[in-house]
Amino acid sequence: MNIASVIVDVPAKQTDKPFDYKIPDKWAGAIVPGMRVIVPFGPRKVQGFVIGLKDHSEFDSLREIQEPMDLVPVLNNELLALGNWLTEKTLSFKISAFQAMLPAALKAKYNKKVKLAQGASIEELPESLRHYFEGGKAIGWEDAVKGGLVPVLQKEAAAGTVEVLYEVRERLGKKHIKYIFPLLPPGQLKEEYDDLSKRAPKQKELIDYFINNPEPVETRKLSAELGYSASAIKALIDRGALGEKELEVYRDPYEDRDFPKTAPLELTPSQRAAISPVKAAISEVRHEVFLLYGVTGSGKTEIYLQSIQDVIQKGKEAIVLVPEIALTPQMVERFKGRFGAEVAVLHSGLSAGEKYDEWRKIQRREVKVAVGARSAIFAPFENLGIIIIDEEHETSYKQEEMPRYHARDAAIERGRRHNCPIILGSATPSLESFARAQKGVYSLLALPDRMNNQPMPEVEIVDMREEMRSGNRSMFSRKLFEKIEDRIEKKEQIVLFLNKRGHSSFVMCRDCGYVMGCPHCDISLTYHRKNEQMKCHYCGYETHVPLQCPECLSEHIRYFGTGTQKVEEELGKLLPHTRVVRMDMDTTGRKGSHERLLKEFSEGRADILLGTQMIAKGLDFPNITLVGVLSADTMLHIPDFRSAEKTFQLLTQVSGRAGRHELLGEVVIQTYTPEHYSIELAGSQNYDLFYQREMMSRKVHKYPPFYYLALVTVSHGQLMKAVTVTEQITAFIRARVSEDAVVLGPVASPIPRINDRYRYQCLIKYKREPSLPENLKHVIDRFQKEEGAGGLQVSVDINPYLLM
Ligand code: ADP
Ligand code: ZN
Ligand code: ZN
């Protein structure tokens, strides 16, 4: 077995297959599948994943693996297989699938260098370049760019005198701490002490310290805190009295936190009924997908905790997925509180190093539970006993770049391989999952009531058009404002929610209606208060806020839309003594700020918590008795067949924040379209009716869960090119699907231009098309050749969640 099959880190169609390399004798036995290696590939060195070993190759004169990058495989056999599955399901490159499973810190980065080409002599170079390459030196790419040398170097490269070299560089190492420890027992240290001359008082002190404290001590602590000099330490190391060693330490983001231990609660009868089939599947080592459908506060999390406990008792491991924005300190606390140091937490708030350390705890079997956002589904456990996906309806479980996978599908696939159950939990399950539960594909577990039978909060829907008609131009309806005043009086707390998604603050001319758009994308620019700038969220274009309308020169151009800052200002004017905590992207950017703001609110140091999506979930504070939704319908107008579903889910989710404890809760939803069923039914918290209405609409319009979707998006700098290619693709696919399928296109994407690239799409709706993946692959293959050179981009998204 001295030949390795390697998937190289060159994401392109031509390289999306294993390449054979010889394993040099010195690495024999040291290189195994799942390990990263550095291999020569063409003129450069790239990273690759070993996916298998063999004795023979059909190719002769194989090149050799240069060196391994890991001491132990970073992907186990199951994950390697899962990578292949992922590749097939999402039509992505194998390398992208493998990379997606690893923490960012392990993703390769390359140092690009230019050096003298093999066989070329320095005299062949122009005088001005020679000194960069003298004595075999190379020039770093960044330096070349900075020095404006790229054009000359390009010319030389074309002439064959210089070449570009890629060097793999690990982005991040492990963290090590140095320790000093005595090499001799106390008795001998005493002898050393006596031997030392009086002229070395510092060394004598240090020996004295170790006679009394034989434990290893951090080098830094020894010198910085205890005040021993570095030279004394060094002298004693040289003398052989002390030793120095490096120990690897983990960067633990929760190091300074104490999590009060919690014990399992006595389950209620409905919780017991829900958990027992899960426990049965665990003990029978059987794969089964459960949909745990229960309103917020019905005790789902306690079921997760107790199922995991079962799994741990059997010596197995658990993965819990939580949407990024719901991965609040409160949520983490509940898992850490129950399972303590057995839990690793993976979320985007951690630095790359911290994430890497948490991941390695899993890899080294030091923890039993991984709690994290989407990519935690790839936690390298080997003996999974359960996978839980909380808030399973959240669209953030779908990755929007290659590999375009959905964590739910990956979870079910892993569950199948490990013979373990999956719990999908939600108060508002996705239509797809609920439909599967109705059909018996998933097993439905219902928790119909809130704990202690607290009533669901009372929800009132306010028609903002009425408010306008009666002359109220404020962003608060009279009803909501009255209630806010009332709660402040009673010293109870309020959550105000502003849906930011699809609701940017834009600049509009009051006289002619001109809206300021991005010159490169067909989308309006977003107003950023902080630096008075207008920004494009798609391409990053930035410009100043105009003083005059570019169209009609009117000065009545100003920004519209209610950003959280504007609401905060308005509250400050109307209720000057009210304390408001604002949580949005701007105020929670810095590490730990999320936690700090929540703490401020939970300790009662603020009356109102004002925020975007991120406050919609997970909050559980006893004193919240009023929730106000300032603009319920902004999400309804996004061109997406799921917009009603998303609106319903979000409103239900937000409403669930009120009255979770002894105090009764009230919810006020402000809207311009009170008659829309998603708003009306969120008002009465009637999921079942909503499900029926929405299923009807999906059936009529041939959308999931009745049909599957595949979306092909084509983009190019020239409009005609984008249209023509999309036309070709549409015709190609149309000729190769059955009559049941619907192939729509070419149509302009909802955002028809991004970054000066025109975007067209072909949408395929289908029920059963076994050859569709093959045909889509063909489309990718065919047009990939034109990519790069022609600037054409063709992407395929199977089961898309973003139709933009
Ligand atoms: P969900 O995850 O469905 O929102 P939780 O599990 O958070 O619900 O439960 C809501 C509240 O009820 C929490 O404060 C939780 O501690 C409490 N709770 C859950 N199960 C029980 C139980 N069996 N007995 C008493 N309290 C419980
Ligand atoms: Zn104007
Ligand atoms: Zn733009």
pLDDT tens profile 434-472 = 999 999 999 999 998 877 777 778 899 999 888 878 888
Residue 64 has pLDDT above 60, yes or no: yes
297 Cβ below 6 A of ligand 1: yes
298 Cβ below 6 A of ligand 1: yes
As a whole number of angstroms, the distance between CA 344 and CA 357 comes to 9
> What is the per-residue pLDDT for 660?
61
As a whole number of angstroms, the distance between CA 597 and CA 340 comes to 24
262 Cβ below 6 A of ligand 1: no
pLDDT band at 515 (very low <50, low <70, confident <90, very high): confident
| Ligand nearest to the CA of residue 452, numbered in listed order | 1
pLDDT band at 678 (very low <50, low <70, confident <90, very high): very high
Give the pLDDT confidence of 623-652 residue by residue, as tens digits. Answer: 888 999 988 877 776 778 898 999 999 888
- Determine which of 73-77, 104-108, 500-504, 636-640 has the lowest per-residue pLDDT on average: 500-504
Residue 501 has pLDDT above 50, yes or no: no
294 Cβ below 6 A of ligand 1: yes
Question: How many whole angstroms from 759 Cα to the centroid of ligand 3?
Answer: 13
> What is the per-residue pLDDT for 502?
37
Average pLDDT of the residues in 484-507: 79
Report how far Cα 412 is from the mean position of its chain's Cα atoms: 19
| Ligand nearest to the CA of residue 558, numbered in listed order | 2
pLDDT band at 81 (very low <50, low <70, confident <90, very high): very high
Residue 230 has pLDDT above 50, yes or no: yes
As a whole number of angstroms, the distance between CA 244 and CA 258 comes to 32
As a whole number of angstroms, the distance between CA 124 and CA 172 comes to 39
Residue to substitute in 302, 335, 388 for testing ligand 1 pocket (most ligand atoms within 8 angstroms of CB): 302
- Determine which of 534-538, 699-703, 752-756 has the lowest per-residue pLDDT on average: 534-538
Residue 324 has pLDDT above 80, yes or no: no
> What is the per-residue pLDDT for 665?
83
Q: How many CA atoms lie within 13 A of 428 on its CB side?
A: 25
Higher pLDDT, 5 or 104: 5
Most confident of 104-113, 137-146, 250-259: 137-146
Average pLDDT of the residues in 524-548: 78
Q: Tell me which residue has its CA closest to atom 5 in ligand 1.
A: 299
Residues around ion ligand 2, judged by CB within 5 A, are 509, 511-512, 514, 549, 551-552, 554
Average pLDDT of the residues in 9-20: 86
Query: Which of 505, 424, 472 is CA-nearest to residue 574?
Result: 472
Q: Where are the alpha helices (DSSP H) in 257-406?
A: 269-283, 300-313, 329-339, 352-363
Residue 579 has pLDDT above 60, yes or no: yes
Question: How many whole angstroms from 268 Cα to the centroid of ligand 1?
Answer: 10
Residue 367 has pLDDT above 90, yes or no: yes
> What is the per-residue pLDDT for 679?
93
Residue to substitute in 451, 617, 661, 662 for testing ligand 1 pocket (most ligand atoms within 8 angstroms of CB): 451
Residue 697 has pLDDT above 80, yes or no: yes
Q: Tell me which residue has its CA closest to atom 17 in ligand 1.
A: 299
Give the pLDDT confidence of 738-775 residue by residue, as tens digits. Answer: 999 999 989 888 888 888 889 999 999 999 999 999 99
Higher pLDDT, 33 or 166: 33
| Residue 23 Rama label (left phi>0; alpha psi -120 to 50; beta) | beta
Residue 146 has pLDDT above 80, yes or no: no
> What is the per-residue pLDDT for 167?
61
> What is the per-residue pLDDT for 635?
74
Report how far Cα 435 is from the mean position of its chain's Cα atoms: 27
Most confident of 62-71, 276-285, 516-525: 276-285
Average pLDDT of the residues in 491-499: 87
Q: Kindly report the number of other CB atoms within 10 A of residue 747's CB atom.
A: 14
- pTM for the model stands at 0.79
Residue 618 has pLDDT above 60, yes or no: no
299 Cβ below 6 A of ligand 1: yes
Please name the residues in contact with 501: beta carbons below 8 A apart, sequence gap of 6 or more: 612, 613, 634, 635, 638
Residue 250 has pLDDT above 70, yes or no: no
452 Cβ below 6 A of ligand 1: no
Average pLDDT of the residues in 343-366: 84
Most confident of 66-70, 126-130, 242-246, 299-303: 299-303
As a whole number of angstroms, the distance between CA 182 and CA 215 comes to 8
As a whole number of angstroms, the distance between CA 631 and CA 613 comes to 12
Average pLDDT of the residues in 100-112: 75
266 Cβ below 6 A of ligand 1: yes
Q: How many CA atoms lie within 13 A of 412 on its CB side?
A: 13
For every residue of 458-518, DSSP letters joined together read EEEEEEHHHHHHTT--SSS-HHHHHHHHHHHHHT-EEEEE---TT----EEETTT--B-B-
Mean pLDDT across the chain, nearest whole number?
Answer: 86
| Ligand nearest to the CA of residue 553, numbered in listed order | 2
> What is the per-residue pLDDT for 586?
65
Report the relative pairing of strands 317-321 and 242-249 from DSSP bridges. Answer: unpaired
450 Cβ below 6 A of ligand 1: no
